[in-house]
Amino acid sequence: MYVRTPDRMRFDNRVRIHIAKREAVSSKAPIRAMQDKGGRQVASLIAEAGNRARPVAMLVLGQVGSGKTTFLHHTRKVSAATLFEPRNDKPYPHWFHIDFRNYSSEESPLKFLTEEIKKGVNEDGFLSDYERCIKHAYKDDIDALLRGPMYLLSNDEHERKSKITDMLLRDYGEALPYIEKILGYAAKNSAIFIVVDNIDQFEDEQVQSQIFADSMALARKIGASLICTMRESTYVKHRNDPIFNAFDFEALAIEPPVIEAVLAGRFFVAKQLLDGKSGSFTAENGADVTVENLPTVIDLVQSSVLGTTIGQLIDVLATSDIRLALRMTREFLQSGWTASGKALRIYESTGHYVMPQHEALRAIMIGNQRQYFEEYSVVGNPFDSRLAKTEAQLLRMYVLSAIVHLSSDSGFRHLEGAEIIKNLRSLGFGDAVTKKVLEDLCRLRFIHTKSHSSPSLESNFIVSRLGAHIVRYFICDMMFLENVMMDTFIPDTQTWESLRDSTAAIYAQRNIIERLRLRRERTKLFFDYMSNLYTPLRDESVRRGLAAAWCAHPFEAVKNQLETNLTRATRSAERNYAPTANDGRG
């Protein structure tokens, strides 16, 4: 399932924007571990670690879900697996992977670290062997005791062994002195790697600093090589801390792989696991459906996701977060199929079926809720800035539209926070409002800071593919509009009542064609109201002579496309349901 190919899109043809790269956070050029050259560099560092005068120190950097943990597991179990194979003829390297996802902030980071390493020591055939390792690790201590405090027991072998056992058990119970002795001895003959993963599982910066400090102190004391993983944003917060200057780190950059390639790998493995197995499920009409060959279901899913609009949709909405992409895929597979029995029947008879895109989008947006709420959705609402001011309701869309238009220019690098402040001040919005809008846009993954730092009024910003698709694609998509209107404040009483009445009429209507007509009218009503609400922002920008990007009107730009999309939906419904439109189906 491991995918080494990183995603290198530089221009999105669908929304016509140039994808700007974020800045490298390390002081020197990082090793691009996902590339062949970088992979060889990492393999060389690990293989030669035992022969270096100073232990290796590596910092694995990547955004959330980019595959840092997967890269480490692949390195240990595949690319460098032969290096860590146990041997009886000579010392061999040892690898300890400590994942802080299982750590509780109530306990000491050092205690958690040492207990996890002790588990690894106990599972290792060499490190847990008294004759091969333990007695040699404690030889100096035992010799000193026999020359000193235990000298009088030198002729009593039974008592001498009992005292030595007591000392070993005491150190073993405390964990730290035991692993210091064992790993300190092993590190003299071969490389020891302490891999500290998910340091930034907790947002508390003090906890992060303590984990990092304890890990470095332990690694330095026993002479082990240290490998730490963290997000670029975490590194930016801590890179000036004294503890980072203590080690000369080699920075490794993990770029997110191509999402469709990751999904293809998962589908392949699932298909192999289900080979020769059968199953059953309940179809939409309540009938029990038996599937003699379950891999057929995987083939059906693949045909709906890989190389289709749905696959592109997941790619855009995930913003290179592989973990999020897998979660969205699971959610729409669990709740997005309104006609699973029909889909399987068509696929088995024709060999082809593609799940409707609007069903996938709806399932992804609402998740396990009954309707859309921004708080619980992976997709944010660009139509409500949550500022309790009608005139500021569409500021998210205003700032986002400007940066999307600027990104259409190949020479654009970033939008400065100072320019955003200046333009919003000219429209009468204070810095507190601006800061809130920028923080929300970054939290919703519509834009990013160029430097990976937390958004502030001094930051420089670039747009994400998701942000560009919101402005130029999603705001004219019927399903997107229908979902977000459920969590958008409507300040105009008459408009709100009209939308409420339309919704009630839709739920009461049983005829599919007529119901779609009502949905179409409601969508246009909501879109037109949002357009009218945005117009004063555009007009004031023009009146104050702001740059062209700030004077654009995203709703007017996509109005014709909305009409096209609504017409296409109507034709599709008429083609699929017109022959049985009056049979009472809902």
> Is pTM beyond 0.85 here?
no
Distance CA 245, CA 530 (A): 52
Does 67 have pLDDT greater than 90?
no
The stretch 220-229 carries a mean pLDDT of 90
Report the C-alpha gap between 112 and 296 in whole angstroms. Answer: 45
Same domain, 352 and 473: no
Higher-confidence residue: 247 or 14?
14
Of 142, 169, 189, the last residue of a domain is 189
527 Cβ partners below 8 Å, 6+ apart? 475, 476, 481, 555, 559, 562
Residue at 385 is within a domain: no
Residue 9 within any structural domain of the chain: no
Give the model confidence (pLDDT) of 262-299 as tens digits: 889 888 998 899 888 888 877 666 677 788 888 888 88
Residues 328 and 455 in one domain: no
Q: Examine the domain organization and report whether 421 and 489 are in the same domain.
A: yes
Mean pLDDT of all residues in 337-344: 69
Whether residue 306 is found in the same domain as residue 218: no
Radius of gyration of the chain (CA): 30
Q: Are residues 472 and 511 in the same domain?
A: yes
Whether residue 72 is contained in a domain is answered as yes
Residue 7, domain member (yes or no):
no
Q: Are residues 497 and 458 part of one domain?
A: yes
Give the model's pLDDT for residue 53: 66
DSSP E strands: which ranges in 311-440?
415-416
Question: Residue 38: pLDDT above 70?
Answer: yes
Residue 152 lies in a domain: yes
Cβ contacts of 148 within 8 Å, gap of 6 or more: none
pLDDT of residue 581: 39
In a domain, 462, yes or no: yes
Please indicate, yes or no, whether residues 68 and 135 belong to a single structural domain of this protein: no
Say yes or no to pLDDT of 228 above 60: yes
Q: Which pLDDT value is given to residue 579?
A: 61
In a domain? residue 165: yes
Q: Specify if 585 maps to a domain.
A: no
Supply the pLDDT for residue 202. 76
**Do 83 and 159 lie in a common domain?**
no
**Quick one: pLDDT band at residue 580, thresholds 50, 70, 90?**
very low
Same-domain status, 451 and 526 = yes
Q: Judge if 357 and 276 occupy the same domain.
A: yes
Percent of the residues in the chain that have a pLDDT greater than 70, as a whole number: 95
**Domain limits for position 494:** 390-580
Please check whether residues 346 and 410 belong to one and the same domain: no
Q: Is the pLDDT of residue 403 over 60?
A: yes
Residue 586's pLDDT band, with cuts at 50, 70 and 90, is very low
What local confidence, expressed as pLDDT, does residue 285 receive?
66
Q: What pLDDT does residue 196 have?
A: 92
User: Domain containing 72 — which CATH number?
Assistant: 3.40.50.300
User: What is the pLDDT at residue 582?
Assistant: 43
Final residue of a domain: which of 235, 255, 275?
A: 255
Q: What is the mean pLDDT of the chain?
A: 87
Q: How many percent of the chain have pLDDT more than 90?
A: 41
Sequence-ordered list of residues with C-beta below 8 angstroms from that of 574, at least 6 positions apart, any chain = 513
Among 118, 155, 114, residue whose Cα is nearest residue 134: 118
> What's the mean pLDDT in 419-448?
95
CA 512 to mean position of chain CA atoms: 38
| Claim to verify: residue 487 and residue 431 sit in the same structural domain | yes
Please count the structural domains in the chain: 4
> Domain end: 255, 287, 310, which one?
255
